[in-house]
Structure 1
Amino acid sequence: MSKEHWDNSFSDQDFVYGQKENVFIHEMSSIIPDHSNVGCFAEGEGRNAVYLAKLGYDVTTYDQSTIGLEKTKTLASESNVDVKTVQIDLTKEKVNTYQFDAAIMVFGHVPKTDQPFLMENMIDSVKPGGYVIFEVYSKDQLKYQTGGPPSLDMLYDPSEILNWMKDYTCIHFYYGEATRNEGKRHSGLGHVIQAVIQK
């Protein structure tokens, strides 16, 4: 998906995925140690980044959409928190390694050929002992029609995710149904993959 696609996707006046953090990130955020540096990958309009900044974390958010990043800055300003924004194509450009105490990604959907690079990019950004927390739609999501990309190529396979995680400590792994009501783009029961790993 191109920068233009996501700029267009986020160009609505409202927040297309809402302003409230993802339920899974809310549930798992307590695992991140106080005062941690946290990287938010493919973060879109910034709802999770701003939530984590409100908890006192030092947050850097990455996305290829300049419009999404502008909306992140607006949301952060309205919430009286600071979030560092970086415009980057996470499927082609590496972020600095070993810089974060934790990294998160929520519904960071890219073509299948780019998924290994994106996952490696996120995992590599975290220091040894740090955490990686993410939730994505599985390939089973297509039949639910409640959000996510309408293409099998942009969804995730649980066995591939387990393979990318295998060198690390798995704290949480879930493959199954979850209800997500997030803005106007995620509406109702869907099928997700969740993971928390520690390096």
Structure 2
Amino acid sequence: MYRRRDAPLLASCQKNPRIFSPPWEDETTAGANLGGMLRFSGFEAFPFTRALVAGKLSDAAFLAACVPDAVVRSASADAAEWQAKARLGFATATLESQLAITGRTPGESVTFTLANRTAGAGLGVMTKLSFDDAAGGTNVDWTAEITSRSGLLKLAPSSLLQSQVQSLLSDLWQSVRTKLQDAVP
């Protein structure tokens, strides 16, 4: 019977998931010491009233309209679906996205899930936005956590995914600023 020389080492590593977690197992990403999830957070300040900012950013239709180059298929206050081109490194793909508002406290906070899929890959995100008054405007504290990866995205390095998501978030917040400015009477 053939036995690999490193079989005892492999067996001990498999008992301890911190040492051995191959990418083909059904797990989420390894990143940022957050239980395998990638987490993004930030702070945005807007020179608009809390009612306007919270009202718009709690509306799924408004959020979908803020996605650069998106073709919105359906949108309501609680859910939206769109299609957009996505770039991950050198590859470009058509991304199908669905946003669903999962919690809303008017004027205070909103939480939503975002499901993205393309041929051979998928990504799930949970996001929370909190609204606070500030001198001359509104502050938005936000967190977004990648809760699942599937297909080819499971094999993508977390650092590549992180840099691409940060670039996307920067573009998205700029678009939100523009759309909010357009919404001011």
TM-score, scaled to structure 2:
0.28
Structure 1 or 2: larger strand share?
2
Structure 1 or 2: larger helix share?
1
